[in-house]
């Protein structure tokens, strides 16, 4: 409990100091030139003290012995975060008044660091109040609050929102491509590791050899692996032209899917093997004595008892897949990585964030959804 309290206090201190010291906004003539920093005192005014009071009050409530009081703690912290964002949006509108249409007002380092600390603090407070689903509920409330601010027009003048609206169709297509690529890579890794895991029940050595080979893949930088796959797939296409007819190309989704699947295969294989071998030998022997076949023993005993290990491995691999698919933007695979690298090429911070923030959201959502399965099966998160 002492360590948890220290972590929450650290998040609260970081949030208050970042918002008070670092700039909350940056106003520039256009999205490419460096901006003029706007301090929190100018952007938020006296409301900065109100946000600090909400954070302090939330932390005091989180220490209460009353359940309803502890539930209010993350609500107040989120209220502080959303209030700061709304005020920053209004400050951006005031700062851009009378300037050219190309002028941009971007959220500054103070907001990003302070906002991240407030969100982490809300998660910790929610975890204390609702251990199983608290962080997931906080994320859901945050998304609803953000949607309400956008709908109400509070954030219309922030450059990130301006960029998102200008590229709304491209952003939606990139999110869909990213999800398809991530799911495809995860499915490919499962298809490759399931037979090896099943084989480990009868012959453990091949599974151990496969884990060793996949461990070697893990030490290869992802960009280097993608670069190696390009000429290999190109040579394969020369030998098997039929692959071109079904849409496979050396540059595009194919090397990204194979590369990401190779990285996801190791945690999946370890989880599958560990889960299938996790049941107590006495339980397995009882099943055999009852006349269970190998298949029925697998379905009725090994998989249910090994589910916590399997779910944990799938959770890690899913988040890893969403993150690594980003690098597919370097080889023409599309997805949100294409927006990130386009922004980097143009030195456009807002375009980078437009691609990076949905990746973070997708990873958090996948982690939360798969994490919810663990408590039901008795695993600790």
User: How does pLDDT run across 79-120, given as a tens digit for each residue?
Assistant: 999 999 999 999 999 888 888 888 889 999 999 999 999 999
Domain boundaries, the chain: 2-158, 168-376
What is the pLDDT, as a whole number, of residue 374? Answer: 66
CA 286 to chain centroid: 42
User: Taking the C-alpha atoms of 227, 228, 232 and 235 in order, what is their torsion angle to the nearest 10 degrees?
Assistant: 60
What is the pLDDT, as a whole number, of residue 135? Answer: 77
10-residue mean pLDDT series, the chain (381 residues) = 78 87 88 82 82 84 78 90 92 87 88 92 86 79 91 91 90 94 94 86 81 85 84 80 73 88 90 81 75 72 80 90 91 89 85 91 86 56 40
Query: Percentage of residues in the chain with pLDDT exceeding 70?
Result: 96
Which CATH superfamily groups domain 168-376?
MetI-like (1.10.3720.10)
Query: Percentage of residues in the chain with pLDDT exceeding 90?
Result: 27
What is the pLDDT, as a whole number, of residue 236? Answer: 80
In whole angstroms, what is the distance from residue 310 CA to residue 374 CA?
A: 10
What is the pLDDT, as a whole number, of residue 380? Answer: 42
Could you tell me the pTM of the whole model?
A: 0.83
């Amino acid at each position: 409990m002492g360590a948890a309290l220290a972590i929450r206090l650290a998040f609260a201190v970081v949030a208050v100091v970042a918002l008070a010291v670092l700039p909350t906004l940056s106003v520039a003539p256009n999205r490419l030139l460096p901006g003029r920093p706007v301090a929190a005192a100018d952007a938020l005014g006296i409301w900065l003290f109100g946000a600090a009071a909400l954070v302090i009050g939330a932390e005091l409530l989180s220490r209460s012995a009353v359940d309803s009081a502890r539930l209010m703690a993350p609500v107040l912290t989120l209220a502080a975060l959303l209030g700061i964002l709304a005020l920053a949006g209004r400050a951006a509108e005031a700062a851009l008044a009378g300037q050219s249409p190309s002028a941009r007002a971007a959220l500054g380092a103070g907001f990003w660091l302070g906002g991240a600390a407030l969100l982490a603090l809300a998660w910790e407070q929610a975890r204390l109040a609702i251990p199983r689903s608290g962080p997931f509920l906080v994320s859901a409330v945050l998304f609803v609050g953000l949607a309400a601010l956008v709908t109400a027009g509070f954030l219309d003048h922030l450059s990130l929102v301006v960029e998102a609206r200008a590229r709304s169709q491209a952003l939606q297509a990139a999110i869909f491509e990213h999800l398809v690529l991530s799911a495809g890579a995860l499915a490919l890794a499962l298809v490759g590791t399931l037979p090896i895991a099943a084989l480990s029940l009868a012959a453990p050595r091949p599974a151990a050899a496969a884990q060793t080979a996949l461990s070697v893949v893990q030490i290869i930088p992802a960009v280097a692996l993608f670069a190696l796959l390009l000429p290999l797939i190109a040579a394969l296409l020369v030998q098997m032209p039929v692959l071109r007819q079904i849409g496979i190309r050396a540059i595009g989704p194919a090397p990204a899917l194979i590369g990401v699947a190779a990285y996801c295969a190791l945690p999946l294989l370890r989880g599958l093997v560990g889960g299938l071998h996790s049941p107590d030998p006495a339980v397995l022997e009882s099943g055999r004595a009852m006349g269970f076949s190998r298949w029925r023993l697998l379905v009725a005993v090994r998989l249910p008892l090994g589910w916590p290990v399997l779910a944990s491995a799938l959770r890690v691999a899913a988040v890893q897949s969403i993150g690594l698919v980003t690098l597919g933007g370097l080889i023409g695979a599309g997805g949100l990585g294409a927006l990130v690298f386009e922004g980097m090429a143009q030195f456009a911070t807002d375009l980078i964030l437009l691609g990076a923030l949905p990746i973070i959201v997708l990873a958090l959502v996948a982690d939360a959804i798969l994490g919810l399965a663990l408590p039901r099966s008795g695993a600790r998160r």
